Amino acid sequence: MIIKGGTFGPVATNTYVVFEAPGGPALVVDPAAGSSAWVANTLATNELTPVAVWTTHGHWDHVVEAHVWADRGIPIWAGTGDEDWLRAPAPFNPALFGNPPPTPGVEPARLLRDGDTFAVGGMTFTLLHAPGHSPGCFVAWDRTAGEAMVGDLIFAQGIGRTDFPRSSPVDMMTSLERVLDTLPGDTRIYPGHGPWAVTIADAEPWARMFM
């Protein structure tokens, strides 16, 4: 598995392009503000065909350019719980997001639930529902490759905030315990912010400081 990442937008959100090898299918993860040109270039450079855009959760900074890809005929996949924020992206904290203009919404082509899987070429991801930061946070884990897209659940040196509307500190603790217990320690994580490709074992001590 090859994962290309870039950081974009007012709160430095990570966008990823995930693929097995050049010339094949690809998954776009969390299309942040200003990411579309980079994503398009990454797809073109590696001769990739995007099969879907997957959003780890529905916060504005992770879905703001979903409409760009939906308009190009690429299906948008999301986990259940935040689908209303995809349909009407909500910059619910204007001070944080810099009072952004209204963002076109999208209708998810596929809503995924805990335990569902999806395939992109030969890659198979299992979905783990991980609410807390938002109700619709999900982790997508490829057990064979040892890679996990973790959104804003856990970072290289911290965890996602739980002081937003619809956040839940209690759910966050439950989700962290579950993911830390489920993912092998050598699993590399790709969070929504900050450094990526660190192992869950390296991230866990930092997360435990907040638990």
The two counts, helices (H) then strands (E), for the chain are 7, 14
* Predicted structure pTM score: 0.95
Residue 107's pLDDT is 95
Residue 10's pLDDT is 87
User: Rounded to whole angstroms, how far apart are CA atoms 185 and 179?
Assistant: 11
Residue 90's pLDDT is 80
Residue 51's pLDDT is 97
Residue 53 belongs to what H/E stretch?
Answer: strand 49-55
Contacting residues for 82 by C-beta, under 8 A, at least 6 apart: 55, 57, 58, 59, 134, 135, 136, 137
Q: Encoding tokens for residue 83?
A: 């689908």
Domain covering 2-208 assigned CATH 3.30.465.10 in the classification: no
Q: Consecutive 10-residue runs of the chain (211 residues): their mean pLDDT? A: 96 97 98 97 98 96 96 96 91 69 90 96 97 97 97 97 93 97 97 98 95 82
- The one-letter amino acid at 120: V
Domain edges within the chain: 2-208
**Helix, strand, coil distribution of the chain in percent, nearest 5:** 25, 30, 45
